[in-house]
Structure 1
Amino acid sequence: MIRYCIPALFVIQLFAHNPNLNPPNWKQYYRLGVVNVGGENIGLATYGRLRRTTDYTFNDLRFYGHFYKNDQEVRFRKKTSRRFLSFKKFYSFNTLLYEKNTFIDVNLRYHLNQGMGWLIQQREDGNMTWELGIAFDNSDYLNNTRKTYYARTGFTSDYTLKNLETKFELDYFYQLSEEEKGIDLSRFQLVGELQYTLKKGLSLLYGFTQDFPLEDSFDLNKASIFATLAINHNLTWSF
């Protein structure tokens, strides 16, 4: 039931809005390039994003796709958040994720997390946030219904200096539910990006992403390193 309710809530949030009082801002993003793992495994890097924001709400759809000869990293994410009227630096959020990653034996992961966020910094040259919440997922969505529960914390930081933009994201999931077959699914997720603007709406982007379990550490040789041409532009939608 929850898999149908969450998208419905997203649609309701999009349209339950008075554009005359708080006009929305729409923006879309596309990327295309190459991705590499370990120096030899080279593939196609793709990315698409649609974002809608107002003074108090944030709605975001993202698609990440890394396609290699024998492997795939695919992620579809939907996130919604809403600021509190009296405490503008705090917000609630919900995130829904479908993911396939053959590098870590994930055929199809269904994941949901929700909680509270703190807008540590919001300036013209960058933002910084910290989130805390709960999460659950099914790491083999097609073959069983077992859910794993986690405590989740996340940190994001982005900064702009003239034509350069940087972004860093760190998520940590600590398994709360009982381990199955002695396997601890606690994990880190890292994303780092460096973007150089060629002209308005057109950029070159270089970055990395990696998921790794609690007992391991970040290893650049195992990370997905990508270089893409990035395009973004505003939309004039008013709903």
Structure 2
Amino acid sequence: MERINSKHNQQIKAVKKLTTTKGRKQAQQYLLESWHLVQAALEAVPAADVVMIYATDDQYLEHGADLTGRPVTLISTAVAQELGETMTPQGIFLVCKLPNPAQTPDYRGAWLLLDQVQDPGNIGTMVRTADAAGFSGVAFGKGTASPFNGKVLRAMQGSQFHLQMVETDLEELVVQFHDHQRPVYGTELNPQAVNYREVQPQTDFALIMGNEGNGMDPTLLQQTTKNLYIPITGQAESLNVAIAAAVIMFRIKAN
């Protein structure tokens, strides 16, 4: 089993580049950090997509039995600190191939569409909520943070492996949903919007959540079947986008 002790090792430098959008695109790989995410990936992705697992001695001692038959390289604590994006890295990482970008969504079931949502915490909360509510997939539109960004990966906590995940142009995707006779709901507070409670629970639809500060793109708002709002009876001006998404998802998704 190979061992790498220096953070200046060329292989480690290459892995470190996976923390950037450019590096991921060039290598067609991404990096997962922490045993929770590594374990979730090993259970979900094809074995051929696992490029390499990097683990400190402590992590290999603890999880080595679960890594049998997988490619593993031991690393020093210094290397783990170099690769880690958290304050105190656990010391275990997985390099995985990026999924095929040409993947065509399955238009059945409920879908969450993210329009220019940028905060990793909000994205993670919405993806986990979509998972909990029984959604089929999540589409990341232009301007939305990448699902392979380290902060986003950690915020999703493995729920990304339970859903279809695509990066796409939402305007084109909405057209496809309409072509498949699926309603598409937007979210906006305006005179034409409908109280979300008036929408009957259903199984096949798309729900768009917009940017934290600016809301949905005006073009997308014109493409929707209906735009929904959540009535606020207290004195708060608005709801966090992830909270609003959770309220609507659990309301309109049929069990």
The structure whose RCO (Cα within 8 Å, separation 6+) is larger is: 2
Structure with the greater alpha carbon radius of gyration: 2
